[in-house]
Amino acid sequence: MQNLSSMHNITEHHNHQRCIDDAMTRAKALCHSRQVKFTRIREQVLACVWANHQPVGAYTILEELAKDSSRRPAPPTVYRALDFLLDNGLVHRIASLNAFIGCQDPSHQHQGHFLICRQCRNATELDTDIINTAINTAAKQHGFSVEVPCVEVVGCCAHCKENRDND
């Protein structure tokens, strides 16, 4: 996976319904092939996560589920669904935001790198080898074996920079 997130610039207009549809289709297929259950709740939670490209908190998901359903689910319901989705690589957790975002390519396990716009809050997942290589090189100098690299870069995305200039 080299250029998945550059297929389109999520900060510009794009057919987001397609993002959602693709993500749900992928998830369904992947769970089927792995013989794990893509239950209603898990599906609902994944849909919430894919509502947009901004990382979403567990309690926000809870609110959304409460709207859809007649009765309000409890936190464990959401966290269990999120754990399932995390285990299956369908979502990533953004530690610095205590929030979750849909994975662009769940077909292989990975910990993505994220560019998070301070202004529009959109997060873009990268998986350019260049960052992993740099981390591995630096770690190796210290005799350190990398298991889970976590890279969460806050800054300003191209779209927001443009808008700011236009003001």
Using CB under 7 A, list all residues that contact DNA: 36-37, 39-42, 57-60, 71, 73-77, 79-81, 84, 93, 98
Residue 42 burial class via C-beta count within 10 angstroms: exposed 0-12, middle 13-18, buried 19 and up: buried
Residue by residue, DSSP assigns 58-74 as: HHHHHHHHHHHSSSPPP
**Minimum separation from the CB atom of position 46 to DNA (A):** 12
Closest to a second copy by CB, 38 vs 114, is 114
The residues near 57 (Cβ < 8 Å, ≥ 6 apart) are 97, 98, 99, 100
Eight-state DSSP code of residue 56: B
- Contacting residues toward a second copy, per CB under 8 A: 5-6, 9, 95-96, 113, 115, 117-118, 124, 126, 128, 130-131, 133-135, 137-139, 141-158, 161
Q: How far is the CB of 33 from a second copy (least distance, A)?
A: 28
